[in-house]
């Protein structure tokens, strides 16, 4: 059982890694793609937005399916789709092609979070859920680090197209890892838990789902998730382009800023993920979002290399723990049997923020001639997100007790 637990955690880590490597790879490769494909910053936002449209549409579906069908097949299939779409990005020659290919990649990436959360929870005891999911989510930081360290080397040696091809190949390899390592729980001691996760699609389960969708706490946390997603994606999409085009850093120096985010986020995941088990999810998320707002403030007022790296270290530390903490709110504040559905629906909110963020912030940069106002908007959305969490954290709005 211990070996199987470890195998599932390794596969989950790799799945999260490739999802975030592809997602981050866009921001890393964007400074080279813009002149090659002759795109404006608004059009670059549209390409990235297409990825998140697909991600948003498919995430709640996969979150629901993860509670009811063979998750091994699910993760394997969608990892292949992610790999194919990413490979094709290396062959795009126009805005339309890049948008279509990245949409395909977005469909595959939907399996890199929503189904992973209930899978990890099935294989982890209650007292270790926060720490285990934080470890799995370190795959996101590893993916960001991979994209920011390796891709610039590939670009310098070859070109940006080879960067996409390398990421696509890695996604196909991870599809094989999912096929070999992922298993649903099948032992006698977990049959009851499996039945809880695989409840009927109608009857009591449907009534609970309807109640969740009408719950004030669910909506407050979901809207907060949307706004922090908007805030986080502004620097993740454009910090390298801002550093290279506005601050005139060399390409390799500009992309290394994202490495700072990755390294800091690894520490943040472990420290804040562990802290959340005693401090509480909502309170810890609020701390994360204050750090995110502060980092964007640093970008706006201190546009120097050392200050930018310090700001991105603060950003990475805060942003690193945000996604698993929101996911952990689902089984903590609602029903464990609906964890996959709730995470999937909240990911729908997050996806809306992800779709709007690169488009709006790219358009603002085109209109104003600078990314400064885009980063300022990221500060505002982070603080509004915090306000909604303060409202949602009131105990009298809990739908049902955890457990």
pLDDT recorded at residue 188:
38
Ranges of residues in the chain with a pLDDT under 50 are: 186-205, 396-403
Q: In this predicted model, what pLDDT tens digit does every residue of 171-189 receive, in sequence order? A: 999 999 999 999 876 443 4
pLDDT of residue 397: 35
| 256-280 residues labelled b (16+ CB within 10 A) or e (exposed) | bbbbbbbbbbbbbbbebbebbbeee
Sorted by sequence, the CB contacts under 8 Å of residue 45 that are 6+ apart come out as 237, 357, 358, 359, 360, 361, 362, 363
Residue 201 φ/ψ, nearest 5 degrees: -80, -10
Residue 42: predicted pLDDT:
96
**Model confidence pLDDT, tens digit, residues 315-346:** 999 987 887 788 777 766 666 666 667 777 78
Average pLDDT, the chain: 85
pLDDT computed for residue 32 by the predictor: 95
Domains and CATH numbers, the chain: 2-180+207-394 (1.20.1250.20)
Which of 304, 172, 285, 145 lies closest to 225 in space, CA to CA?
Answer: 285
- In angstroms, how far is the first alpha carbon of the chain from the final one? 23
User: Tens of pLDDT along 345-396?
Assistant: 787 888 899 999 999 999 999 999 999 999 999 999 999 999 998 887 655 3
DSSP 124: S
DSSP string, 55-122: HHHHHHHHHHHHTTS-HHHHHHHHHHHHHHHHHHHTT--SHHHHHHHHHHHHHHHGGGTTTHHHHHHH
User: Distances from the Cα of 236 to the Cαs of 188, 226, 369, in angstroms?
Assistant: 44, 16, 19
Of 354, 227, 391, 247, nearest in space to 311 by CA: 247
pLDDT at residue number 351: 86
Neighbours of 54 (CB within 10 A): 22
């Amino acid at each position: 059982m211990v070996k199987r637990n470890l195998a599932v955690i390794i596969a989950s880590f790799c799945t999260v890694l490739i999802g975030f490597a592809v997602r981050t790879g866009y921001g890393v490769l964007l400074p080279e793609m813009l002149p090659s494909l002759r795109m404006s910053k608004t059009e670059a936002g549209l390409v990235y937005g297409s990825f998140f449209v697909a991600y948003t549409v498919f995430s709640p579906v996969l979150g629901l399916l993860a509670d009811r069908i063979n998750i091994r097949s699910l993760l394997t299939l969608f990892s292949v789709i992610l790999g194919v779409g990413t490979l094709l990005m290396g062959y795009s020659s126009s805005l339309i092609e890049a948008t279509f290919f990245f949409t395909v990649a977005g469909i595959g990436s939907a399996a890199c979070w929503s189904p992973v959360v209930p899978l990890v929870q099935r294989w982890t005891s209650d007292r270790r859920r926060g720490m285990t999911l934080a470890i799995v989510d370190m795959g996101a930081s590893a993916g960001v680090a991979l994209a920011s360290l390796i891709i610039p080397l590939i670009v310098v040696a070859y070109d940006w197209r080879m960067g996409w091809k390398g990421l696509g190949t890695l996604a196909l390899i991870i599809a094989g890892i999912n096929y070999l390592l992922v298993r649903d729980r099948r032992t006698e001691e977990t049959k009851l838990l499996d039945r809880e996760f695989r409840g009927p699609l109608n009857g009591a389960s449907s009534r609970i789902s309807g109640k969740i969708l009408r719950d004030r706490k669910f909506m407050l946390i979901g809207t907060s998730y949307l706004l922090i997603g908007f805030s986080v994606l502004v620097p993740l999409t454009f910090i390298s382009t801002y550093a290279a085009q506005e601050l005139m850093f060399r390409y390799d120096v500009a992309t290394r800023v994202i490495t700072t985010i990755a390294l800091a986020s690894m520490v943040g995941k472990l420290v804040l993920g562990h802290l959340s088990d005693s401090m509480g999810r909502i309170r810890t998320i609020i701390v994360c979002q204050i750090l995110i707002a502060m980092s964007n403030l640093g970008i706006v007022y201190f546009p120097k290399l050392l200050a930018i790296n310090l700001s991105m270290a603060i950003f990475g530390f805060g942003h690193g723990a945000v996604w698993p903490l929101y996911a952990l709110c689902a089984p903590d504040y609602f029903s464990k049997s609906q964890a996959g559905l709730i995470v999937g629906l909240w990911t729908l909110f997050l996806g809306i923020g992800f779709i709007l963020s690169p488009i709006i912030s790219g358009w603002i940069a085109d209109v104003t001639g600078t990314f400064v106002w885009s980063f300022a908007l990221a500060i505002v959305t982070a603080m509004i997100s915090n306000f909604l969490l303060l409202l949602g954290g009131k105990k009298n709005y809990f739908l049902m007790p955890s457990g």
